[in-house]
Structure 1
Amino acid sequence: MFYRLSGVHHTRYETARRLWPVPADRWQVWILLALAVAAPLYMSDLYLSSYMLPWLVWSAAALSLTLLMGVAGQLHFGFAAVMAIGAYSSIHIVRAGWPFEIALIGAGLTAAFIGCLFGAAALRVKGLYLVMATLAMQYLVDWVIINVPAISGGAQATLQTPDVTFLFVPMQSDAALYYGALLWAVIVTLLVLNIKRTSFGRALVAVRDKDYAASIIGVNSFKYKLLAFFTSSFLGGVSGAVLAFCYYQAVTPEQFGFNVSIQLVAMVLVGGLGSVIGAYLGAGFVLLAPIFLTNMVAYAAIQGWLTVSSNLLAHIPLMAYGALIIGFLLFEPLGLAKIYDNIRKYFLVWPFRHSRS
C-alpha cells in the first residue's frame, strides 16, 4: 500500500521538519498542483472563471481568517470589511498611476493598518465583546464606503477596475486572471503552513490557549495579538484586491456586506478551525453546495418529484444548506478537515485491526 509510514526515518532535523513527511502526502500535493496549473487546458472558460477562480480567491481569504481565528484564537465577524478596504484601496492606487504589484502591497498595508485599529480591542476584551468590536468595524466601513463618494462614487455606484499587468503579463484573459488567483492562493497557503511552524506561530497558539499563561512564560500577548490582526488583515486586504481585479472586475458596496463576513466565518468553521486544507474544503462547501442543491431541487421540480410553490422552491436549497452546516457542527465540530484526517489515518494503518480503534 502506497500510504505507509515505513521508510520514513526521522534521523535529521531537515526531514523531521518537512511540511509533508509522508511521501503520499507530497504526491497528493504535487498532483493537485499539477492539475491546478493545467486547469486551463482541460477546463472550459465558464468553469474556470465561474468556479475555480472564485474558489481559489475565497480559499485564500478563508486562510487569512484561519490565521486569526484558528491559530491566534481571535474572533472576527467583520472580515469582509477588511477585504473591502483592500479592494477599494488597490483600485485607487492603480488609478493614481502606480503598478499593480505596488497596489497589492498598498491594499494589504491599508487593510492591516485599519484592521489593527479595531483589533486593538482584542487587547482589552475577548469572546462576544471582541465580536461586537469587529461588527462595529464592519458597519463603520460599510457606512464610510457608501457615504464617501471619493471612495466608492456613491451608494449605488460601481467602481470599475482598470486594466493592469502583473509581472509584465496583461491581466485580461481568463487564463491570466486564473493564474493570478492561483499564485496568490499558493503564496498564502505556504505562508500559513510555515507560520504555524515558527516561533511566531507557536506564540499565537499559546495566546489562543491561555493568554495569561502565555504572559507568565514570557509571551507578550499585546504584541502577538496585534501582529495576528496585522498579518491576517494584510492577507485579507490583498485577497480583496485579487478578488476585485481577477473575479469581480467591478466593485460595489454590496459585495462586501455583513453576509459575506458570515460566509467567511462559515468557511473557517465548516472547514475546520486552524486547518489549511479545511480552508479549501470550507470555501468549496460554502460556494458550491448552494449551487449543487439548487440544481438538485430544480431537477426534482422538473421531474415532478416536488410539488411545492415557487417561493418555497427557491428557499429549499438554503434550508438544506443551513441544515448541512448545523449537521457538521453537531456531528463533526472539527469540520471537513477532520473527516479528511480520519480517512487519511485509516489508510495509514489499513488493513490491520487497530485501524478501527
Structure 2
Amino acid sequence: MFYRLSGVHYDSFASDSRIFKVPADRNLAVFFLLFGLAAPFIIPSLYLNSYMLPWLLWTAAALGLNLVTGWAGQLHLGYAAVMAVGAYSAVHAVRFGVPWEFALLIGGLASSVIGSLFAFAALRVKGLYLALTTLAMQFVMDWVLNHSPTISGGSHASLQSPTFALLGQEITSDVGYYYVGFGWCVLVTILMLNLKRTGLGRALVAVREKDFAAAILGVNSFYYKILAFATSSFIAGVSGALLVATFFFLAAPEQFSVGVSIQVLAMVIVGGLSSIIGSYFGVALILLAPGLVNGLVVAASGGLGMQVTDETLAHIPNAIYGALIVIILLIEPLGLGKLYGNVRDYLMVWPFDQLRK
C-alpha cells in the first residue's frame, strides 16, 4: 500500500507533536522539495519563470493570509494593501542605497506596522464587520497609491525596481529568480508547519474558535490577534517585495488592488482554511487554471472546427474556471486540502475498510 500506516495512533507526546504524523506525508514533502530543487534542470525556462515562480511567491503570500484567516479566524480583505506597503517600502529603500537583504526586512516590518492597525480593528469588530473594515483600509491604500506620486509615481505611472541582489551578487537569470522564490516559499512553509504544533498555534486556534472562551482559559486574545496580523503582514510585505523584484520588475497600483485581495482570499478558501498543502493547491487552481483552461478551449474549438469569436474565447474559459471552483467546493466545502486528506485517509485503511459490515 502507498500509505503503510493503518490509522494514526498516538502513544506518546512526541508522536503527537511530530510535523508529519503519516510517513507518506513526509515522503511526499521530501519528493516535492527535491523536485523543486531540480526544477530548473527539468522545466524549460519559459515555464519556470511564467508558472513556477509566481506560484511559489503567491503560495508564500497565501500562507501568510492563511495564518490570520485560517488559524486566527480573522477575515481579511485588505491583504493586497499590506503587500503593497512591503513592495514600495523595499523598492524605495533600495533606491536610497539600502542592500536588498535589509530592504526586504524593512518592507516586512513596514507591512507589520500597517497590519497591526487591522488588528486594532479586529479587537472591536469581527466576522463580516471586520471584513468590511479591512476592505475600507484596502480602499484607503488604493487611494494613497493612486494620488501620491512621491510613493508610486501616480495612477498611470510605475516605480521601476532596482536590480535584485543578494550578498552583493546581482541576480538577473530566471534560475536565480526561481531559487529566490523557492527559498522564501520553503521558509514560510517550514514556519507554518511548525506553527501547528506550538503553543502559539494552539492559542490562535482558541482565539479563532471562541475568543471569549479563550480569554477565560487565560489566552490573551488582544496579544494573539496583534501577533497574527503582524506576522501575516510581515510575510505579505516580503512576498510583495519579492514579486516586484523578481517577477513584475516594477511596482504599479493595479498590482495591489482590491481585486488582488479577493483573489488571494479565494486561494486560501478554495485550498482550505488552516491547510498548508491546501494553500499550494488553491494558488495553483486560481493562478494557473485560467491559462490552462484557455489553452484547452482554444485547442478544442480548433479541433472541432468551430468558429469562435475572440470575445467568446475571452469569456468561455472564465465561465469554465468559475464552474470548476463551484464544483470543487460542492464536492468538498473545506477545500482542496481536505479533499487530499480524504483520499489519504481512505488509502490509509484500504483494503481493510472493505471488511466493515
Global fold match (TM > 0.5): yes
Equivalent residues in 2 for 1:309-328, closer than 5 Å: 309-328=309-328
Q: Structure 1 stretch 218-227 or stretch 326-335: which is displaced more?
A: 326-335
Deviates further, 161-170 or 82-91: 161-170
Ranges in structure 1 where 5+ consecutive residues have no aligned partner: none
1:231-277: CA deviations, max 9, x gaps? 11111111101111111111111111111111101100110011000
Deviation at 1:352, TM superposition (A): 1.2
| Contact 1:153/1:159 (<8 A) preserved | yes
The Cα shift of 1:6 comes to: 6.5
53-62 or 149-158: bigger deviation: 149-158
Instruction: Report the CA distance between 1:17 and its aligned residue.
Output: 2.1
Q: Counterpart of 1:136?
A: 136
Give the equivalent residue in structure 2 for 1:228.
228
Give the 5 Å matches for 1:193-232. 193-232=193-232
TM-score normalised by L of structure 2: 0.95
Secondary structure at the aligned position of 1:154 is classed as: coil
- Corresponding position of 2:253: 253
User: Contact 1:169–1:176 (CA<8 Å) still a contact in 2?
Assistant: no
Q: Does 1:110 align with 2:104?
A: no
CA shift, 1:179, in A, is: 0.3
Aligned residue identity for 1:297: V
Identity of aligned residues (%): 55
Q: Name whichever of 295-304 and 37-46 sits farther off.
A: 295-304
Partner of 1:152: 152
Check whether the contact 1:159–1:251 (CA below 8 A) recurs between aligned residues. Answer: yes
Q: Supply the distance in 1 between the matched residues of 2:186 and 2:354 (Cα, whole angstroms).
A: 36
Deviates more, 1:310-319 or 1:77-86: 310-319
Quick one: which amino acid aligns to residue 21 of structure 1? Answer: K
Deviation larger for 34-43 or 345-354: 345-354
Query: How big is the shift at 1:353?
Result: 2.6
Matched with 2:165 is 165
Q: Which residue of 2 aligns with 1:337?
A: 337
Determine the structure 1 residue equivalent to 2:185: 185
Question: Judging changes above 3 Å, is the alpha-carbon distance between structure 1 residues 165 and 8 closer, same or farther for their aligned structure 2 residues?
Answer: same
In 2, the alpha carbon distance for the partners of 1:295 and 1:250 equals 28
What TM-score, normalized to structure 1? 0.95
Distance 1:299 1:330 in 2: 28
Aligned to 1:266: 266
CA–CA distance in structure 1, aligned partners of residues 109 and 199 of structure 2: 23
Checking the alignment, whether the CA contact within 8 Å between 1:99 and 1:164 is kept in structure 2 is: no
Query: Following the alignment from structure 2 to structure 1, what is the Cα–Cα distance between the partners of residues 39 and 79?
Result: 29
- Closer/same/farther in 2, CA of residues 294 and 6 from structure 1, 3 Å limit: closer
- 1:282, 1:84 → 2: CA distance? 22
Shift of 1:324: 1.6
- Bigger shift: residues 50-59 or 169-178: 169-178
**RMSD (Å) for aligned C-alpha atoms:** 1.9
Shift of 1:164: 2.9
Which consecutive segments of 4 or more residues in structure 1 shift more than 6 A?
6-9
Number of positions where the alignment pairs a residue of Structure 1 with one of Structure 2: 357
Q: CA deviation at 1:319?
A: 1.1
Distance 1:335 1:169 in 2: 41
Using the alignment, how far apart are the partners of 2:7 and 2:331 within structure 1? 36
Measure the CA separation in 1 of the matches of 2:137 and 2:212. Answer: 26
Q: Deviations along 1:141-164, whole A, 9 cap, x unmatched?
A: 111111111111111112111113
